[in-house]
Structure 1
Amino acid sequence: MTGVALAEELLLLAYDDETGKATMPRISLDLGMAAAVLVELALAGRLAYADGNLAVIDPAPTGEPIADAVLAKIAAETPHTTSSWVQRLRHGLRDRILTDLCGRGVVRDVEETELGFIHVHRYPMADPSVEADIRQRLADALTSGQLPDERTAALATLVAVLRMEPALGLTGPAAEDAGRRLEEIAAGAGFSGTVSLDDSVVRPSISLVIAALGQAVDAALGKR
């Protein structure tokens, strides 16, 4: 795998560029990033969904340290459901991803002290080109009327599940329209379970993983 990982894309969308603070509930973001890492491994042909569990079908490293650590963990343990894995993986994941983004110069780590003794960290944007590309892909997906590529469709689905329309700078009717379009993308890719996998232009193996993870995040957030 190369470039920016899906979990990194979600995090960049969810953090304010200027303040460097999360703009959405952190538990939602943590669950979404855990799901995104698992989706990344499915896209790379490393994971599959079978009999209600996630299973490693190829243990070969992808070259992305965070994803490879998760892959090794899943391979070393007994099978678990998607719901179990998103809960097990979410703890500490955000800090690891932020550290990686800082190391690559995408965001900056600004340490401050509140009330004289509480240390807090902010992560304002350092290289806006990375997030600009992410937002452009999503904007194209929302306006083109065409089903985007697998990665963008997966990202759009995660944004829909996490109700991240405000992170796209949309409110009111525009946010509602974007929400409907995101749901259409998920359905058209076979991610939401409303379209037959035979009719999806996305690989059925990917559709199964993302649909299962979307349901797991929904359930964890109390939406189902």
Structure 2
Amino acid sequence: MGSVALAEELLLLAYDNESGRATGSTIGLDLGMAAAVLVDLALAGRIAYVGGTLAATNAAPTGEPIADAVLARLAADSPHSPASWLQRLRHGLRDRVLSDLCARNIICDVDETMADGFNHLHRYPTIDPSVEADVRDRLSRALIGDDQPDERTAALATLIGAVRMEPTLGLSGPDAAAAHAQLEKISDHAGFTGTVSMEESSIRPSVALVVAVLVKAIQTALGTARA
């Protein structure tokens, strides 16, 4: 697995570098990050979509603590649908990802909890902007280029489109709409939506299938499924 997990990339995009506060839909980001962990496990050849459920096919650790904790849950639990796993995993995941990024000095935790101790407020401004800069560079090239991005970047672009995170790319109005259309095009060409057969896709069929069912589950949960 890469040094930066897909869930971490989504979170970095969603948090303002200076204010350290999240932007966009809270539920959308949490569902997106839960899906991202599962996609990373699919990319690593650890899980697959079988008979309507997500199942562990290889329980060997990946070396990424958050992903490995999720993998252990899938291996130990009974099979569940993609939608069920998204709901099971999203709770508490953001705090774990924030803690991981803080421990690696990519962001920092600024505690602004009131003196009475009742109103807890934390901000997470960026310390090392290079990680997010790399993510944005990959996405920019995917959005403006004609070549289909690699499977990891294609999956990231697809998740961003699924949770409607275009505003985190600094886009609004017609530009955001155009970016969403391009994100959907990337998803289509990767074989994530059924528009292109998985045999024609450059993405491994096992990965494409996991991404496809997770995107459908996210869109159903958010009420944004394509007609």
* Shared fold, TM over 0.5: yes
Inter-partner Cα distance in structure 2 for 1:165 and 1:220 = 18
Higher mean C-alpha deviation, range 116-125 or range 144-153? 116-125
Is residue 57 of structure 1 aligned with residue 43 of structure 2? no
Inter-partner Cα distance in structure 2 for 1:114 and 1:141 = 43
Q: Which residue of 1 aligns with 2:98?
A: 98
Q: Which residue of 1 aligns with 2:147?
A: 146
Q: Which residue of 2 aligns with 1:205?
A: 206
Give the aligned residue type for 1:189: A
1:11-55 per-position Cα deviation (integer Å, ceiling 9, x unaligned)? 000001111111012111111000000000000000011111001
Q: Which residue of 2 aligns with 1:109?
A: 109
Matches within 5 A, 1:122-133: 122-133=123-134
Q: Which secondary structure state, in structure 1, belongs to the residue aligned with residue 174 of structure 2?
A: helix
Q: Which residue of 2 aligns with 1:223?
A: 224
TM-score if structure 1 supplies the norm length?
Answer: 0.98
Q: Which residue of 2 aligns with 1:86?
A: 86
Q: Which residue of 1 aligns with 2:38?
A: 38
Give the aligned residue type for 1:126: I
1:122-160 per-position Cα deviation (integer Å, ceiling 9, x unaligned)? 000010000000000000000111100000000000000
Inter-partner Cα distance in structure 1 for 2:164 and 2:125 = 22
Query: Alignment RMSD, CA only?
Result: 1.0
Cα displacement (A) at 1:193: 1.7
Give the aligned residue type for 1:217: I
Q: Which residue of 2 aligns with 1:77?
A: 77
Q: Which secondary structure state, in structure 1, belongs to the residue aligned with residue 171 of structure 2?
A: coil
Inter-partner Cα distance in structure 2 for 1:223 and 1:184 = 16
Cα displacement (A) at 1:2: 3.1
Give the aligned residue type for 2:17: D
Cα displacement (A) at 1:212: 0.1
Q: Which secondary structure state, in structure 1, belongs to the residue aligned with residue 213 of structure 2?
A: helix
Cα displacement (A) at 1:188: 0.3
Extract unaligned runs of 5+ from structure 1.
none
Q: Following superposition, which runs of at least 4 residues in structure 1 exceed 4 angstroms of deviation?
A: none
Give the aligned residue type for 1:179: H
Q: Which residue of 2 aligns with 1:184?
A: 185
Cα displacement (A) at 1:114: 4.3
Q: Which secondary structure state, in structure 2, belongs to the residue aligned with residue 126 of structure 1?
A: coil
Q: Which secondary structure state, in structure 2, belongs to the residue aligned with residue 119 of structure 1?
A: coil
Give the aligned residue type for 2:156: L
